[in-house]
Chain A
Amino acid sequence: MEPNSTPASPPAAESENRESGGGELRFETMSGVPIRAAYGPEDVTGDAEAKIGEPGRYPFTRGPYESMYRGRNWTMRQFAGFGTVEETNERFHYLLDHGQTGLSTAFDMPTLMGYDSDHPRSLGEVGREGVAVDTLDDMERLFQGIPLGEVSTSMTINAPAAILLAFYVLVGERQGVSPERLSGTIQTDILKEYIAQKEWCFPVEPAMRLVTDMIEYSTREMPRWHPVSISGYHIREAGATAAQELAFTLKDGFTYVERAIERGLDVDSFAPRLSFFFNAHIDFFEEIAKYRAARRIWARELRETYGAERPESMRLRFHTQTAGVSLTAQQPLNNIVRTALEALAGVLGGTQSLHTNSFDEALALPTEEAVRVALRTQQIISHETGVTNTPDPLGGSYFVEALTDELEAEAYRYFDRIDELGGMVEAIRKNYPQREIAESAFEFQRKLDSGEFTIVGVNRYQSEEEEVPLLHIDPALETKQVERLAATRAVRDSAAVESSLAELKRAAGTDQNLMYPILDAAREQVTVGEMVATLQEVFGTYTETPVF
């Protein structure tokens, strides 16, 4: 948009109140839940003591741990990845040197889609939105100088997650760190890819089999690893409301639990290692209520429906990222304020790990300065504000409890609709969540265009734009990565490559756990693209029918 373009709905006379577009003043959450003038004891219905509970105790509404941040701070985990593995490795070291406490890896689009850097479809995409990883050697260079036994790593990868996990395990092996000592999270949440993020390699069923293989593998071999991070973040970014984010994410989570139980795993053996990833959007109280409702629903369903007995299985733990979509390209410094408030909601909602977005991210990937301010934002919340002194400081607020109940009820209404459609996999096939999200996204845009919802600097309070320095990705890195891939291909044992791919293909046709043949192939420097293409020969590919 050009700077100073005409606002959609210019308020003629400014009052201190926020005007709605059509005249009548409306008070509602971002998702449209009406807000009453005041809340009181009558708004906390039912057995308040039982449903609110205590921090660290079932139903965990008030937090997964008794002492929360008094006992242990959240992990400050800034998402990073761009350009070559060397550049990203440098950013990792930079963040660790500035007090970040965990790593989080962003892979580029070709890696997310299972294409090698030299695939024709990768042209122009290599290293753009994340780092390019084609082989085990790339992965080793990515974590150069980082002791995997000490740092926990999160990897945002889904469709080819099993392959990247294998690479990580083998980098650990090269460092002398066994799989049982590796800690971290790999996203692996394929259902939300079909719903929202749209990076897929295979049809839904074989993709679900790979997820279950990974849950089974890490239950056996990697006790400190989180094999699935059930992610609402992207569902929200695609346009879902808070209630839709809550409902679709939890339902995805239940679906993974069901698959693992069907595989013969005991729910208490794997459920403690499932974790969540939520968005922190700008509607402060609605977000806090969302996290509280999520914990309560997860606890109840794990115990009542899936028969979990260990409290660890019922205890929902989550990573939070502030809302990328709430950032504006206009007046980018305002994004520091938005991010701080969103991060505060995540903290008051009891997050275990947090990524704060950088102020320049509506324009490009973040510069070092922008990412440092984002990290400092977390440190200020943690060390200066005092909000960490007591768990769930807003628990018992009439308003927060009422909103928590409201979101919980709305989530169950969605569960019922999804069950009527035959469960989440069927609902996705029928485009149900996709359509609901597109609908909400459009409705939000309508409110924005009409001025019913205000975004400062975009549809109100516009001002002359000032340029901020942006990170520039050198297009030459694509060539460099392609050359490196060719060099790796040239020196590997081609007979071993062929036979490991043949074995992978054979195993894909059986019900064997695919993690083991993937590990064997990874060891031979077989690329992500080669493994995915081989699996596609057995599994096929996925094409969506878009709805809007």
Chain B
Amino acid sequence: MVAAAAHKIRVVVAKPGLDGHDRGAKIIARALRDAGMEVIYTGLHQTPEEIVETAIQEDADAIGVSILSGAHMTLVPKISELLAEQGVDDVLLTVGGTIPTRDIEALKEMGVTGVFTPGAPTGEIVEFIRTRVNRREL
């Protein structure tokens, strides 16, 4: 057991838009929870406003957004803008799902720290969030 982290990492796992494909989101939610994080899963069909609101209320360290519908270039910038508007600059924003390569760079420019496409091992995602959150806290 590692005794270093006094603070339990809190992650909001969110499904924005109308897409009902929640297999990946639920697997990630469970993997993060099993890795000792506090996971708040929003459930389906959330608006960007609802997701940002949840992240603020829950004092989240990270938001993991899962989108398979192709709406990521509309919904993710909206989440990013709302976070900025609310003055939230200490929450990691990560995106997972069916994201074409050409959109990955654009998402990163919008302040998304990690983009995970199908096939990403859960361990890699857990480590990504853990190291980024911990690094930020130093």
Enumerate chain A interface residues (CB-CB to B < 8 A). Answer: 1, 5, 8, 109-110, 112-113, 115, 121-125, 128-129, 193, 197-199, 237-239, 325, 328-330, 362-365, 438, 441-442, 445, 448-449, 455, 458-459, 467, 470, 473, 475, 543-548
* Residue numbers in B under 8 Å from A125 (CB-CB): 17-19, 69, 71, 74
List chain B positions with a Cβ less than 8 A from chain A: 17-23, 25-27, 29-31, 41, 43-45, 47, 69-71, 73-75, 98, 100-102, 116-124
Q: In the complex, what residue of chain A is closest to B68 when comparing beta carbons?
A: A129
* Cα–Cα, bound, A238→B44 (Å): 14
* Nearest CB in chain A: distance from B59 CB, A: 21
The answer to whether A329 and B119 touch (CB under 8 A), given A441-B27, A467-B101, is yes
A-B pairs with beta carbons under 8 A, tally? 117
Interface of A, secondary structure class, is loop
Additional A-B contact list (8), CB under 8 Å, known A328-B118, A545-B43: A113-B45, A121-B18, A128-B71, A238-B22, A328-B119, A438-B30, A445-B27, A548-B25
Nearest residue in B to A459 (C-beta to C-beta)?
B121
Q: A546 contacts B22, CB within 8 Å?
A: yes
Taking a contact as CB atoms under 8 Å apart, the answer to whether B124 and A124 are in contact is no
For the complex, what is the distance from the CA of A112 to the CA of B44, rounded to whole Å? Answer: 14
Give the contacting residue for B20; candidates A124, A198, A363, A438; CB below 8 A. A198
**A110 with B18: CB separation less than 8 A:** yes
Q: Which residues of A contact B18 (CB under 8 A)?
A: 109-110, 112-113, 115, 121-122, 125, 199
Quick one: which of B23, B47, B71 contacts A441, CB cutoff 8 A?
B23
Question: Cα distance A449–B47 when bound, in Å?
Answer: 32
| Contact of A1 with B119 in the complex, beta carbons under 8 Å | yes
7 contacts between A and B (CB under 8 A): A1-B124, A113-B45, A121-B47, A124-B75, A198-B20, A467-B101, A546-B41
- Report how far A1 CA is from B100 CA in the complex, Å: 11
Query: Of the candidates B22, B31, B70, which one forms a contact with A128 in the assembled complex, judged by CB atoms under 8 Å apart?
Result: B70
Query: In this complex, what residue of B is CB-closest to A545?
Result: B43
Task: Known A8-B123, A112-B18, A198-B44; judge A1-B117 contact (CB<8 A).
Answer: yes
List the 9 shortest-distance A-B pairs measured between CB atoms, nearest first: A124-B74, A198-B20, A548-B26, A109-B18, A124-B71, A128-B70, A1-B120, A458-B119, A546-B43
CA distance A475 to B71 in the complex (A): 10
Q: Which residues of A contact B120 (CB under 8 A)?
A: 1
Supposing A109-B18, A438-B26 touch, asked if A1 and B73 sit within 8 A by C-beta, the answer is no
Known: A1-B124, A198-B20, A548-B41. A364 touches B70 (CB 8 A): yes
